[in-house]
Structure 1
Amino acid sequence: MADSIFISAGDPSGDNALSRVIEELNTAHPNLTCFGLGGKRLHKLGQEQFADQEDLAVIGFWEVAKKYLFFRKLLNQCLKEIKSRKPTVVILVDYPGFNLRLAKKIKELGIPIIYYISPQIWAWGKKRIVEIKKNIDLMIPILPFEEKFYKDSGINVKYAGHYLTEDIKPDYIASVIPENGHLALLPGSRKQEIERMLPVMLQTAEAVYAEYKIKSVIAGVENLFEYETLIQNKDFVSVIYDDSRKVVHDSKLVVTSSGTATLEIGLIGRPMVIIYKTGTLTYQIAKRVVTLKSIGLVNLVLGENILPELIQNEATEKNITAALAKFLTDETYRNECVAKLHLLPALLGAKDVSKNIAGFIGEYL
């Protein structure tokens, strides 16, 4: 009987990361079948999917609460399919609000549960470590400091490195900053994020052009958002779709939404200003549960606040422009930041990341 895998990868970054692993697994297990939740890349690899990833890409406590019935129905559908099909292994990718609940419900079935891309419980939910220890058979984190966190908690953990080190073009990593580069704007990969982040980014782009004559390029996602409607009559801004890394590579500075993108930008070696805006209720709840001083993954991996972070009401055109201006006018500061960013490949890197992770998973097939 052919092996099958249930996959729950609700975020675009998770879809990207696991697709590389599944490609490796398919080489060793050509009859492998996959079903569950994922995005475009897993779909191309043949995953049978129960939902559109755009419906899954919801962020914020209140925003998730509004879709409670949708997620409850989806959770029950996944549970029903897992019980019926009895996959050889379950792989949960990031997406902790959904995946930790699912893990709890399926643990009694006796199917091995692997968690790839650790929930960031070291930031917001250390009490959940008991739950993870009980329900997860193998944790595969992607950040170097997470391995020790889980080992110290008595959880079976294997670390291979970060998939971005092999996913980004080698000649992009730690590349030379172009003298005539543009300002790159990365408002996110979810419609909610873009709606909140892009307006203030465009205000900043206008201010930067007025002062420094630097044009801006938005890293857009095709068919996700009507970027063109917001940049009408703004000849200092353009959009490039579905190639955010080229947008970053060809830039001299970046304004980005917090998230995986900060590591991509850091590996490419571009100074950035990290911003984040969310709903008022979500922000108030997050302030009470998140225990970290940084939200930018790039700062967390480097172990210090190298890049400026502007959150919620601090993420204004005036503040963002001022942070960019420091990069543009203070060469020593800019060079120090770039030098620190050039440490990232060694901190995150390892050879054959996805191949090694496929090996970890293959032990359960």
Structure 2
Amino acid sequence: MKYYIIAGEASGDLHGSNLITGILRSDPTAEIRAWGGDLMEESGADIVKHYKETAVMGYWSVIKSLKKIKGNLDFCKSDILEYKPDVVIFIDYPGFNLRIAKFAKENGFKTFYYIAPKIWAWKTFRIKSIKKYIDRLYSILPFEVDFYKAFNYEIEYIGNPLLDAIEAQLNRTELFDDFAKRHQIEHKPVIALLPGSRKQEIKFLLPMMLRMQNEFPQYQFLISAAPGIKEEFYEQFITKDNKLIKNDTYQLLKHADGAIVASGTAALETALIGTPQVAVYKVTGGMLSQIIGKIVIKVKWATLVNLIMQKEIIKELLQKDFTFTKLKKELKAILPGGEKREELIINYRELHSKMGNTGASVRAAESMVKRLKATV
């Protein structure tokens, strides 16, 4: 069968590559044409557009790139018509993908969506397009099943690919001594700092995180460096005593007694690894500030961890609550001997149970191939 897959970002390229591997396992003669990146190509797809050509971040970037976006939409539509796939599969990237989904459905193509748009956080109106133009939606967050059910739309939770990524990276047993030697750090307890992946986030979060060093001198504070952000950017915030850990976040978290983490996917990764944490977020002005404000208004919690558990198991210090006093108090509470640590670890086990087993991409692929074969 023929598959047309659209992923418009780096994360989509990763998820897409795993999905393609699963599809080829269930359908060895599959032909796959895709918008994606190097990982999807390595997995067996014929890439027609690299995500680096299509990614547009930020409100003003979108405005300035309207002509480019329209050109990409037009090209995608004509390419689908020419390729005539048995199914069009969308991976996240809802602004672009839902437009193509409308076109694909209206032209008689079957449509699957892998990794549901986060309409529970913003742009809930997109449910109309999803119900109308998507034949099957695959979710990686368990609470989304009930959310979509409230709109009379049945979706399929297939697990979360983070479980696979974490297992793959932590499948080797590494002693702290070996980790310390590799990164040339001291042999003393660790607090991990994950200040985000964007410069604006790092600018607002890292300085406050680093102020905790004087309050907890028995620990060394190690900073997880974001991919794509040069070391020079961090130098305005850190001293020679601070150490950046590059491309090794999971091992850093594994060896840390606690962590201060920018609210987002990193908080869920930290929880699945089992490291007690405080989730924080603060930006002022601009679209990010508006978005986080809207999320807090629309849902009870900002972190995926608490949303999945439907209760606050990790403390969220957002915007005005992200203060020196509150951060010090909450960090102390989750470190060894802290009043919240044991309960947090117990809740992490329940979270892991709710998330299910590894193999999300394989299950999604098997379901897709089975559904397609049933209609051929």
TM-score (norm 2): 0.82
Matches of 2:330 and 2:140, distance apart in 1: 29
CA–CA distance in 1 between the matches of 2:131 and 2:249?
37
1:336 and 2:343 matched: yes
* Alignment match of 1:212 (pick from 176, 198, 216): 216
Query: 1:320 and 1:80 mapped to 2: Cα distance?
Result: 53
Cα deviation, residue 137, structure 1: 0.4
Q: Secondary structure at the match of 1:332?
A: coil
SS in 1 for 2:278: strand
| Cα distance per residue 1:289-347 (max 9 Å; x no partner) | 75102110011011112222233454456654443233348622122222211211110
Secondary structure of the corresponding residue to residue 155 of structure 1? coil
Q: Deviations over 1:223-263 (max 9, x none)?
A: x1112442376233222322321121121222222222222
Moved more, 84-93 or 156-165: 156-165
Q: Does 1:267 align with 2:272?
A: yes
Alignment CA distance shift 1:324-1:358 (3 Å):
same
Could you tell me which residue of structure 2 aligns to residue 327 of structure 1?
Answer: 334
Q: Which consecutive residues of structure 2, in runs of 5 or more, have no partner in the other structure?
A: 177-186
Shift of 1:215: 2.2
CA–CA separation in structure 2 for the residues paired with 1:242 and 1:269: 19
Match of 2:104 in 1: 106
> CA distance change for structure 1 residues 352 and 169 in 2, over 3 Å: closer, same or farther?
closer
Alignment of 1:1-365 (within 5 A): 3-47=1-45, 48-53=47-52, 56=55, 58=57, 60-62=58-60, 64-169=62-167, 180-189=188-197, 193=198, 195-213=199-217, 214-222=219-227, 224-231=228-235, 234-277=239-282, 280-282=285-287, 283-284=289-290, 287-288=293-294, 291-315=298-322, 319-328=326-335, 331-350=338-357, 352-363=359-370, 364=372
CA offsets 1:191-226 (integer angstroms, 9 cap, x no match): xx2x0122344323432222212223232344x111
Structure 1, 314-323 or 74-83: larger mean CA deviation: 314-323
Cα distance in 2, alignment partners of residues 323 and 69 from structure 1 = 48
Asked if 2 retains the 8 angstrom alpha-carbon contact of 1:231 and 1:237, the reply is no
Q: Which amino acid aligns with 2:15?
A: A
Contact 2:113/2:134 (<8 A) preserved:
yes
CA 18–205 in structure 1, closer or farther in 2 if over 3 Å, else same: same
Count of residues in Structure 1 that have an aligned counterpart in Structure 2: 356
CA distance in 1, matches of 2:52, 2:23: 23
Instruction: State how far apart, in whole Å, the 1-side matches of 2:309 and 2:104 are.
Output: 37
* Structure-1 separation of matches of 2:153 and 2:3: 22
Distance in 2, Cα, partners of 1:15 & 1:188: 20
Structure 1 residues 240 and 329: alpha-carbon distance in aligned structure 2, compared to 1, 3 A threshold: closer
Q: Is the 8 A contact 1:201 1:255 kept in 2?
A: no
User: Which residue does the alignment assign to 2:181?
Assistant: none
**Alpha-carbon distance in structure 2 between the residues aligned to 1:253 and 1:96:** 35
Q: What is the CA distance between 1:12 and its match in structure 2?
A: 3.3
Task: Measure, in 1, the Cα distance between the counterparts of 2:234 and 2:38.
Answer: 26
**1:54 Cα offset (Å):** 8.2
Q: Whole-Å Cα distance in 2 between the matches of residues 163 and 280 of structure 1?
A: 33
Partner SS, residue 169 of structure 1: helix
Q: Secondary structure at the match of 2:298?
A: coil
Q: Greater shift after overlay, 151-160 or 83-92?
A: 151-160
Letter aligned with residue 84 of structure 2: K
Cα separation, partners in 2 of 1:246 and 1:63, compared to 1, 3 Å: farther
User: What's the CA shift for 1:27?
Assistant: 2.1
How far apart are the structure 1 equivalents of 2:93 and 2:284? 19
How far 1:356 sits from its partner (Å)?
1.7
Structure 1 gap ranges (5+): none
TM score, norm. by length of structure 1: 0.85
In structure 2, what is the Cα distance between the partners aligned to 1:237 and 1:163?
32
1:71 CA drift (Å): 2.8
Matches of 2:291 and 2:10, distance apart in 1: 25
Identity percentage of aligned residues:
31
Taking a change above 3 Å as real, the CA distance of residues 236 and 140 of structure 1, as seen in their structure-2 partners, is: same
User: Separation in 1 of the partners of 2:21 and 2:356?
Assistant: 20
Counterpart secondary structure, 1:34: strand
Work out the CA distance in 1 between the residues paired with 2:225 and 2:327. Answer: 20
Which of these two proteins has the greater Rg computed from alpha carbons? 2
Tell me the secondary structure at the aligned position of residue 88 of structure 2.
Answer: strand
Asked if structure 2 preserves the Cα contact closer than 8 Å seen for 1:185 and 1:218, the reply is yes
Deviations along 1:3-43, one digit per CA (max 9) or x if unpaired, are 33222223333332332221121123334343333244223
